[in-house]
Amino acid sequence: MDVRAPDSILGSPALTDLIGDTPLLPIGGLREVPGRVEVSGKAEWFNPGGSVKDRAAWGMVQAGERSGALTRDKILIDATSGNTGIAYAWIGAARGLRVRLCVPANASARRLRVIEAFGAELVLTSPMEGTDGAIREARRMVAEEPDRYFYPDQYSNPANWQAHYRTTAAEVWAQTEGRVTHLVAGIGTSGTLVGTARRLRELRPELEVVAVQPDSPYHALEGLKHLASCMVPAIYDPGAHQRTLEVTSEDAIDMAKRQARLGLLIGWSAGAALAAAERVARELERGTVVAILPDGAERYLDDPLWGEGA
């Protein structure tokens, strides 16, 4: 039985209209930050699919539909560690598209269940090979039957970073009333960092962009890449940021727990971004630091790392 959304429900207003325009929240609980330095976080879990990746997935789907490469007879396929998969899965369901996702088998069980609930198909790949293994599997399937698939390839697709150039950056600029001096963001595909940084630096050329990376290849920060040991995304631009800060998984998780006690339930990569933002803020006398908080903690609460007494 084909249960895909019929054309009749694909009108407006649509759930996809609610992507973006996420709140920029003042961040408390940071240590040794001078009084004249503001730190705020872009709360990306307010997107309908619960993460920053709604923006990129929707940008790539729209670009595919516009170019004619994505039609209803194609299967949308991509490799994803979880959040992009959820974004493709719900956007695909809402638009009547079939979705197949290559995901490392050790991605969080809760995320995989969410993806399946939207009716997308999972192809589980070796946990030992991480997202690189998922990418290789997606490429292999597409090479075998190229006409069957629409392969947005989030690691190489300019529509990924362009979504942030158009939306995330414009929102940060408006929400800080043009005051933002520092942008702090993690790197997965690098779409968030590259797109937001490019636009904000056009608006303020002296803005400092800080990239956040896990300190080791063996880290718990789902969604982030340790670039030195991974396949570097084609859309990655080393010129997009002025500095890189490495964050340990312990510091990121500690920060997430600290924020939870202040009412803000953020994910691990958001904890990493805030741990880096705290370090940046400490060095300043005045300034407005904006960290991108990619998702909330709901999807990580089953993780033993959240720990007892949290």
Catalytic residue IDs: 53, 269
Binding of ligand PMP by 53 (CB under 6 A):
yes
Tokens of 219: 């880290």
Q: Which amino acid is at 5?
A: A
Q: Which of 38, 78, 171, 222 binds ligand PMP (CB under 6 A)?
A: 222
Q: CA 123, CA 102: separation in Å to the nearest integer?
A: 5
Binding of ligand PMP by 153 (CB under 6 A):
no
Cβ–Cβ under 8 Å, residues 68 and 165? no
Residues 6+ apart with CB under 8 A from 289: 37, 38, 39, 40, 180, 181, 182, 184, 277, 280, 281
Task: For ligand PMP, give the closer residue by CB, 83 or 175.
Answer: 83
Q: CA 125, CA 298: separation in Å to the nearest integer?
A: 24
Binding of ligand PMP by 47 (CB under 6 A):
no
Residue 42: which H helix or E strand, with range? Answer: strand 37-43
Residues 6+ apart with CB under 8 A from 177: none
**Residues touching ligand PMP: how many (CB under 6 A)?**
21
Strand intervals (E) in 172-239:
182-186, 208-214
Q: Which of 267, 271, 287, 296 binds ligand PMP (CB under 6 A)?
A: 267
Give bridge partners of residue 42 from the DSSP assignment. Answer: 24, 292
Residues 6+ apart with CB under 8 A from 68: none
Minimum distance from CB of 224 to ligand PMP (Å)? 6
Task: For ligand PMP, give the closer residue by CB, 51 or 125.
Answer: 51
Q: Which of 90, 142, 295, 297 binds ligand PMP (CB under 6 A)?
A: 295
Q: Which of 97, 99, 180, 187 binds ligand PMP (CB under 6 A)?
A: 187
Binding mask 125-144 for ligand PMP (x = CB under 6 A): --------------------
Three-state DSSP state, 208: strand
Binding mask 80-99 for ligand PMP (x = CB under 6 A): -xxx----------------
Q: How much is the CA Rg of the chain, to the nearest whole Å?
A: 19
Q: Residue with the closest Cβ to ligand PMP?
A: 223
Task: For ligand PMP, give the closer residue by CB, 251 or 295.
Answer: 295
Find, among 46, 42, 30, 52, the residue nearest to 182 by Cα. 42
Q: CA 169, CA 44: separation in Å to the nearest integer?
A: 13
Binding mask 224-243 for ligand PMP (x = CB under 6 A): x-------------------
Contact segment (CB under 6 A) with ligand PMP among 49-57, 121-129, 248-256, 274-282 equals: 49-57
Binding of ligand PMP by 190 (CB under 6 A):
yes
Contact segment (CB under 6 A) with ligand PMP among 93-101, 142-150, 182-190, 203-211 equals: 182-190
Contact segment (CB under 6 A) with ligand PMP among 16-24, 59-67, 220-228, 255-263 equals: 220-228
Cβ–Cβ under 8 Å, residues 262 and 30? no
Minimum distance from CB of 13 to ligand PMP (Å)? 26
Find, among 62, 74, 22, 293, the residue nearest to 157 by Cα. 62
Tokens of 46: 């307010």
Minimum distance from CB of 131 to ligand PMP (Å)? 8
**Residues interacting with ligand PMP, by CB under 6 A?**
51-53, 81-83, 186-193, 222-224, 267, 269, 294-295
